[in-house]
Amino acid sequence: MAQKFNSQGFLLRFIFALVLVYVTYNPMGFSYYHWAKDVLIGDGTFLSPPFALVSITLLIGWTIYLRATFRSLGGFGLLLALAFFAILIWWLVDLGLLGINNVSVFSYIVLFLIAAVLAVGMSWSHIRRRLSGQADMDDVDE
C-alpha cells in the first residue's frame, strides 16, 4: 500500500532536489562542476574512484528526477513550469527586489527554482490526483 501524499512528502522531494542541484553546481565554487573542471581540465589530478562514484551518483539522481518530471508533466507541462518560474524571476527584477547585477544571488535563485520545478515534477502525479480525483495508470492497488 502506497503512503498518502502530504506536504512532508513534497518537502522531502524538494530538499533532495535542492541537494542535487546545489551539489551539481553552485556559485560558491564547491560543487561537482568545479571539481570536474579541475579534474578534467586543470590541476594535474587524474580521474579517481571518488570522482567516478560521485559522477555516477549524480547521474542517477538527475536521471530519476528528470525522467519523473518529464513523465508527469510532459514536455508542454515542463515548459509551462519553467515559464512560470521565469516570469516570477522577471517580476522580482521588475519590482526591483532582485538585481541582475549580482550574478551570485541571481544564480542561487535560478538554481532554487530549478529544484522547485524538479520537486513539482516528482510530486505532480500526487498533486493532480488530489486536485482532480483522477488516478494515473501507474497507480496500482490504490
What's the one-letter identity of residue 107?
S
Q: Determine the Cα–Cα distance for residues 113 and 122; give it in Å rounded to an integer.
A: 14
pTM score, two decimals?
Answer: 0.79
What single-letter amino acid sits at 111?
L
Q: What is the DSSP string of 96-125?
A: TSS-SS-HHHHHHHHHHHHHHHHHHHHHHH
Task: Report whether 18 contacts 115 (CB < 8 A).
Answer: yes
Mean pLDDT to the nearest integer, 119-127: 80
Q: How many CB atoms lie within 10 A of CB 141?
A: 5
Closest CA relative to residue 70, chosen from 136, 117, 133:
117
User: Which is more confidently placed, 33 or 125?
Assistant: 33
Q: Which of 38-47, 53-62, 91-100, 110-119 has the lowest mean pLDDT?
A: 38-47
Indicate the domain borders of the chain: 7-132
Q: Does residue 52 or residue 134 have the better pLDDT?
A: 52
